[in-house]
Structure 1
Amino acid sequence: MITKVTKWGNSLAVRIPLAVAKETQLRYGETVNLASCDGQIVIVPVRQQRYQLADLLKGITPRNLHDEVSSGAVVGKEGW
Structure 2
Amino acid sequence: MYTTIQKWGNSQAIRLPKALLEMARLRENDRLEIRVQDGNLVLVPVRKHRTLAERIAGYSGEHLCREWETGRPVGKEVL
Greater CA radius of gyration, 1 or 2?
A: 1
The aligned counterpart of 2:52 is 52
Q: How does 1:22-37 map to 2 (within 5 A)?
A: 22-37=22-37
Matched residue of 2:7: which SS?
strand
1:15 aligns with 2:15: yes
Quick one: which amino acid aligns to residue 30 of structure 2?
A: E
- TM-score with structure 2 setting the length: 0.62
The CA distance in 2 between the partners of 1:35 and 1:9, in whole Å, is 22
- TM-score with structure 1 setting the length: 0.62
The CA distance in 2 between the partners of 1:40 and 1:24, in whole Å, is 18
Unaligned runs of 5+ in 2: 60-64, 71-76
Going from structure 1 to structure 2, the CA distance change for 1:52 and 1:62 (only over 3 Å counts) comes to farther
| Deviation (angstroms), 1:48 | 1.6
The aligned counterpart of 1:40 is 40
Quick one: which amino acid aligns to residue 48 of structure 1?
A: K
1:2 aligns with 2:2: yes
Quick one: which amino acid aligns to residue 18 of structure 1?
A: K
| Deviation (angstroms), 1:9 | 1.0
Matched residue of 2:48: which SS?
coil
Unaligned runs of 5+ in 1: 68-80
The CA distance in 2 between the partners of 1:5 and 1:36, in whole Å, is 16
